[in-house]
Amino acid sequence: MTKRIALVTGGMGGIGTAICKALAEAGHAIVTTYSKPGKETAWLAEMKQAGYDVHAYQCDVTNTEQCATMVAQIHQEIGTISVLVNNAGITRDNSFRKMTADDWHQVISANLDSVFNVTRPVIDAMVEQGFGRIVNISSINGQKGQFGQSNYSAAKAGMHGFTMALAQEVARKGVTVNTVSPGYIATDMVMAVPQEHRDKIVAQIPVGRLGKPEEIASLVSWIASDNAGFMTGANIAMNGGQHTM
């Protein structure tokens, strides 16, 4: 059987890299995006040295046309995308009274508009081939809200609204759509939270530590598998017990 193709947006970040590796280990051909030239050469070399064959496309996921062009290129140069992981995201933390319109729009655009921009050109081919897995990487803070993240919490909650709606539209076509909501994971994004705030957050995690990117990645890899075909429209939390619902 030829390899299924998985597109992971923002695949060069902490959780993204782990997802690329896990999906590759599960037998997928991996394609990832990066927004600006810079670290992709070193990242690709590291992945190659570790035995992972990964393709990378430069694409600003906030740009609808660029996403459509990239997906068309992937379909032509590599093949039909079977697994899409909407993982690209940013933070611009600020309490709401200090938040600028830029802080708001950048976060909504990178975390939520991007989900439309990348999923829209991918969905028809998934439906036509009768198989697809869409995994939206949201956050604990889309489920519970977080001081300083009114923009990010809104975008991440919005992602799951999208999941629930699209899941219903494509359920009979062999395409599942699910959300994964990680808690605080040991990545650069979380390490950028000032230490005094981070220490208070870690103290609220019953498991007593930050999560590992590999823990999220193994969940994503399972959702992408044939065995997960009956799960759709779900929001799976992995947060060390910090938020239960």
Query: Minimal distance in Å, beta carbon 234 to ligand CAA?
Result: 18
| Of 48 and 197, CB closest to ligand CAA | 197
| Of 54 and 107, CB closest to ligand CAA | 107
Radius of gyration of the chain (CA): 17
Angstrom distance (rounded) from CA 86 to CA 168: 18
What residues form DSSP beta bridges with 84?
A: 7, 134
What residues form DSSP beta bridges with 175?
A: 132
Helices (H), 83-149: 101-108, 114-129, 140-144
What residues form DSSP beta bridges with 238?
A: 182
| Of 89 and 132, CB closest to ligand CAA | 89
Contacts to ligand CAA from residues 168-207, by CB under 6 A? 184, 189-190, 193-194, 197, 201
Query: Minimal distance in Å, beta carbon 232 to ligand CAA?
Result: 23
Angstrom distance (rounded) from CA 141 to CA 4: 32
- For residues 21 to 60, the per-residue mask of contacts with ligand CAA, x marking binding by CB under 6 A and - elsewhere, is ----------------------------------------
Query: Minimal distance in Å, beta carbon 147 to ligand CAA?
Result: 3
Confirm or reject binding of residue 221 to ligand CAA (CB under 6 A): no
| SS3 of 39-97 | CHHHHHHHHHHCCCCEEEEECCCCCHHHHHHHHHHHHHHCCCEEEEEECCCCCCCCCHH
> DSSP assignment, residue 133?
E
- Chain position carrying tokens 């046309």: 65
Show the tokens assigned to 87. 């993982």
Q: Annotated active-site positions, please?
A: 152
- For residues 59 to 98, the per-residue mask of contacts with ligand CAA, x marking binding by CB under 6 A and - elsewhere, is --------------------------------x-xxx--x
Show the tokens assigned to 186. 């040991």
- For residues 122 to 161, the per-residue mask of contacts with ligand CAA, x marking binding by CB under 6 A and - elsewhere, is -----------------xxx----xxxx--x---------
CA angle 134, 138, 141 (to 5 degrees): 165
| Of 40 and 93, CB closest to ligand CAA | 93
| Of 57 and 184, CB closest to ligand CAA | 184
The closest residue (CB) to ligand CAA is 148
Binding residues (CB under 6 A) for ligand CAA: these are 91, 93-95, 98, 139-141, 146-149, 152, 184, 189-190, 193-194, 197, 201
